[in-house]
Amino acid sequence: MRYQAGCGESQILAIMFQFSQIPLEKIDLKKDFPSPQTGALVTFEGLVRNHNDKRKVVALEYEASERLAQKEAQKILAEVQKKFDVLKVKCIHRLGKLTIGEMAVWIGVSAAHRSQAFAACRYVIDEIKSRLPIWKKEYYENDSSGWVHMA
């Protein structure tokens, strides 16, 4: 879901959140970020690691209540608009089964200054992990699996 809202006469804030079944590595994630006002572009890549709680992880699977997640994500991104002086915010989260090293989530924030871009990016990932109805299932090397808390 994507929308734009005015942020002053010369500045347009674009915010977007979406899910993807396509590996994020295959998407031009920074597309549409450059603008004459941009002084900083901060990105975050959440990757699938090979361990959690002293267990060897071989894969992850993400499921979500997409409609509820979209609604809450738009609230989070609207909060970013109010709290930080940013130009664009984009977040894409994978769904489905992922292997070690794959990107599970990508966030990009552009702003005139780096401090706002860093703070907004951190805010987005922290709020997404704590508020969105997204579930993560870990697959372990002994062929067992289990759903885990994402925060």
Per-position pLDDT tens, the chain of length 151: 333 333 443 344 678 999 999 999 999 999 888 899 999 999 999 999 999 989 999 999 999 999 999 999 999 998 998 999 999 999 999 999 999 999 999 999 999 999 999 999 999 999 999 999 999 999 999 889 888 877 5
- Gap between the terminal Cα atoms of the chain: 24
pLDDT of residue 4: 34
- Domain holding 91, by residue range, is 2-27+34-148
Contacts of 129 (CB under 8 A, 6+ apart): 150, 151
pLDDT of residue 67: 96
CA 107/CA 34 separation, integer angstroms: 15
CATH label of the domain that carries residue 94: 3.90.1170.40
Q: Output the pTM of the full model.
A: 0.88
Cβ proximity of 81 and 5 under 8 Å: yes
DSSP 66-126: HHHHHHHHHHHHHHHHHHS-EEEEEEEEE-EEEETT-EEEEEEEEESSHHHHHHHHHHHHH
Contacts of 52 (CB under 8 A, 6+ apart): 138, 148
> How many beta carbons lie within 10 A of that of residue 132, not counting itself?
21
Which amino acid is it at 99? T
Instruction: Indicate the number of domains in the chain.
Output: 1
Contacts of 147 (CB under 8 A, 6+ apart): 135, 136, 137, 138
CA 56/CA 25 separation, integer angstroms: 24
